[in-house]
Amino acid sequence: MDVLATVTVSFLAVLVSFLRMAAALIVSVLFSIVVGTAAGVNKSFEKVAVPVLDILQSIPILGFFPVAIQVFYAASPMFGAELAAIFLIFTSQVWNITFAVYESTRFIQPELLDVANSMRMSAFERFRHIYLPACLPRIVRNFQPSWANGMFFIVGAEILSFGDVELKLFGVGTLVSEFAVAGDLLGIVTVLLILVAATIMVNVLLFIPLGTMFETAGPPSPGLLRRFAFIKKLAKPFQTTLATPVISFFEYQRSVSGLVNKVSVLGSLVRNLIFLILIGFLATLAITRGNEFFGSLYQTLGRVGVDNLLSSAVFSFVRVMGAVGFSVAWSIPAAVAIARRPQLSTAVTTVFQVVASIPVTIVYPLFAETLKDQPELRAFVMILAATQWYVFFQVLAGLKNIPRSELEVADMLQLKTWTRIRMVYLPRALPALITGCITAAGGAWNGLVVAERLVLGDLVAETNLPGLGKLLSQLTYAGDLLGSVSVLIVMSSIVVLMNRFFWKKLYDMVASKLKIE
């Protein structure tokens, strides 16, 4: 392939992948507005929807492979592959947006609803003038993290296989894997450059202005943004002027950790089990049409092996905690260093958010040769990519939210740098740090499915040591539905148990120590 052809095909691949991402994002927003508003308005729907959302968001993308293939591909082989891919991207973008909508419609001032009642507003008017404006600001702020999350798993969405069915769609993921298999370094670099440029453009031209749109009620912004002014107009009643700039990753955090807080521990464990077992086994029953169902169940457990599951869980656990620990170790000093310098922190935030949207899975082929003999290091770097930003942005947000008066007192008392960090910054950053870790750990568990075993078409990179992500990936690509369901159950149970018995406990301990609510 000559250079021009490489550039053209790379450009097209990025374009096609971005269109897929955009389509999934639009579907995510529509889904979120419908489901989120319904959950926010209707109490009985809320009781069902919130726990289900909590389960769904804890399932890594591979868990949706069977659904994507059985539902979309089976329904229409012609468009099915495309729909399946969009569906998979959707599953990695949607949950934080849905929860943001739910939360913003659920906690609308009751007075406002009283007024709506007294004015006899119709359901549509209510939606148009109250619910929609209430949730729009948080929807647009969730775009950026959702996009970043979708890009992280784009390879999985574009090259999906389940047993005998293998679908390969034209896009960045596929193209990079082809270049990687062919050893075409120039090709990889070309795709990456175009992808990075496109990511920067989407962020700078769209997400960042959209995210900051609701911050100030100034005159309409120039250029492209004016076209989106209708969003701002729609949300007019809920516009607030925020003192600190919004960090969209923080929004994501708020959505996900909010979700975690809504569900009780035992409840969510039990529901997780029931839900996964039910869906998993029902799906299996449907697929196998009941043939030798129980036989295959028995076989599965024998094949996967309980000891295998447990040792995989232990190794994955160590990887996840290692990544979280590493993120904490660099996030605190970095955030402390920039938090009090507004211009620097705005710049760093912008750069980091863009960097976070560049999928490490696509960058990997560039370093495939170097990292070939270091599978654990590769896995670690990839988990880190799915982890560290949440910790960093959360700590930064925590530091930025330190009350002004406390900083003035610190100035007044001429606290030396170390005393200031120890007595003022760290206590204020700690609760934020823990919520950051919760989301980060959740992201890390989801990220394991590509980190421990990255499938880039014919290029497969996996860790030598066992891991749940590796196991899930192997079973899923081999088409072993029961096997993947059992791994999913183990994985999501660990996440729930960790949230409840470690992170939540830690948070409560810190909160009581710091005398904060």
What is d(CA 245, CA 248) in angstroms, rounded to the nearest whole number?
9
Q: How far is the CB of 225 from other proteins (least distance, A)?
A: 18
Which residues partner with 459 through β-bridges? 456
Minimum separation from the CB atom of position 420 to other proteins (A): 10
> In the numeric block, which tokens belong to residue 80?
């099915």
3-state class (DSSP) for residue 112: helix
Nearer to other proteins, 43 or 404 (CB): 404
**CB nearer other proteins, residue 76 or residue 244:** 244
Minimum CB distance to other proteins, residue 52 (Å): 38
Q: Which is nearer to other proteins, 110 or 218 (CB)?
A: 218
* Cα(251)–Cα(6) distance, integer angstroms: 38
For other proteins, the closer of residues 400 and 470 by Cβ is 400
| Nearest distance in Å: CB 396, other proteins | 20
Complex with other proteins: residue 227 or 515, whichever CB lies closer:
515
Q: Which two tokens stand for residue 119?
A: 């004015």
Token code pair at residue 311 = 């040792």
Pairwise CA distance, residues 385 & 61, whole Å: 16
**Shortest Å, Cβ 334 to other proteins:** 23
In terms of CB distance, is 52 or 415 closer to other proteins?
Answer: 415
Residue 456 β-bridge partners: 459
**Shortest CB 406 distance to other proteins, Å:** 6
Cβ of residue 408: shortest distance to other proteins, in angstroms?
6
Residue pair 338/429 in contact (Cβ under 8 Å)? The answer is: no
- Binding site residues, other proteins, CB under 8 A: 216, 218, 241, 403, 405-406, 408-409, 411-416, 419, 423-424, 427, 513-516
User: 37 CB contacts (<8 Å, ≥6 apart)?
Assistant: 101, 102, 105, 127, 131, 135
* Reduced 3-state DSSP string for 458-498: CEEEECCCCCHHHHHHHHHHCCCHHHHHHHHHHHHHHHHHH
What single DSSP character describes residue 244? Answer: S
Alpha-carbon span 300 to 487, nearest angstrom: 11
Question: Shortest distance, CB of residue 433 to other proteins, whole angstroms?
Answer: 14
Nearest-angstrom CA–CA distance, 456 and 444 = 19
With respect to other proteins, which residue has the nearer C-beta, 135 or 424? 424
From CA 211, how far away is CA 56, in angstroms rounded?
26
- Calculate Rg over the CA atoms of the chain: 23
Shortest Å, Cβ 245 to other proteins: 13
User: CB neighbours of 395 closer than 8 A, spacing ≥ 6?
Assistant: 331, 332, 335, 429, 432, 433, 436
3-state secondary structure of 454: strand
User: Which C-beta is closer to other proteins: that of 270 or that of 413?
Assistant: 413
Nearest approach, Cβ of 254 to other proteins (angstroms)? 23
Contact 308, 465 (CB under 8 A): no
Minimum CB distance to other proteins smaller for 181 or for 413 = 413
Specify the residue, 111 or 517, whose C-beta has the smaller distance to other proteins: 517
